[in-house]
Amino acid sequence: MFDVHVHAAPDVLERIGYDDQIGAGYAAAGYSGFVLKAHHESTVGRASALSRSSGLNVVGGITLNRAVGGINPAAVLSALSTGGRVVWFPTADAHTQESARLPRLGDLDERLDRSVLSVPPVLAADDTSVGNVALVLDLITEHDAVLCTGHLSGDECRWLLDQAEARGIGRFLLTHPSYTVPGMDVEEIAELAECGAHVEITAYQLLHQPGMTAARLAAVARAAGPRLILASDAGQPDSPEPPAAVEQLIAVLAAEGLDPGWLRDAASDTPRKLVLP
């Protein structure tokens, strides 16, 4: 098993355990590895240290929120040049996050402004960050890294997929597209999956997303087809341990009539091949 989406302490939000504790839980559950994600810092160094100490394939990356300079090619180059494998486009600082009133770093201190991040087609053509977006995409191409869409809108996800295809980016993951943000419908998800996007469903959606149902998640899984990725997105104190969260997600989807073997592949071989070189 291989989890492409988990959070650990230290973090600006409370987490269920530190990196080593999360790693020990995966090892005990027989996982080969996982992707360590943080919204406000690179996890490349943390993942590398844990890989060396645990023997697991622990993968790090960088999320392009304001704490790392937003859509910042220098931060991306640094992360990928030191072993990072995953680049998430804006999450907590995406414009969708602010519109949906979901948690942001600025919630911790009112002295921070509420500026947000986006990519074309939301950005104006003359916005100075357009060039940064292009360079980030080029760096992902050159390092054969994974492009994750973060919390950007459906239109932005589609634009990113078009750009990925044009550049030959072969590792593309729609970050929980049926979550509140971006809130994509099943038909749109199916179309992007047919165009080459992997599709993530997370246990967090099952456990915490308002209005989400097992039937709807099953419909998204069917739309994803062979490009389905199941992940925990766990680490919250009110979520199960990440491996248990994944098992719960698999059981719930299997109860909706989906093939258990296919679901296990979506939480093991498929994500492992997506992420590892």
Q: What is the pLDDT of residues 45-86, one digit of tens each?
A: 999 999 999 999 999 999 999 999 999 999 999 999 999 999
Band the pLDDT of 157: cuts 50, 70, 90.
very high
Task: Measure the CA–CA gap between 145 and 116, rounded to whole angstroms.
Answer: 25
Looking at the structure, give the CATH architecture of the domain made up of residues 2-275.
Answer: Alpha-Beta Barrel (3.20)
Cβ burial, residue 227 (10 Å; 0-12/13-18/19+):
buried
Band the pLDDT of 126: cuts 50, 70, 90.
low
Q: Answer for the pair 176, 208: CB distance below 8 angstroms, yes or no.
A: no
Tell me what pLDDT residue 121 has: 82
Q: Which residues contact 134 (CB under 8 A, 6 or more apart)?
A: none
Write down the pTM of the prediction.
0.97
Domain ranges for the chain: 2-275
> Is a pLDDT exceeding 80 seen at residue 35?
yes
Task: Measure the CA–CA gap between 26 and 250, rounded to whole angstroms.
Answer: 16
The tens digit of pLDDT for each residue in 224-241 reads: 999 999 999 999 999 999
Q: Quick one: average pLDDT of 102-120?
A: 94
> Is a pLDDT exceeding 70 seen at residue 145?
yes
Measuring CA to CA, which residue among 92, 112, 117 is closest to residue 102?
A: 92
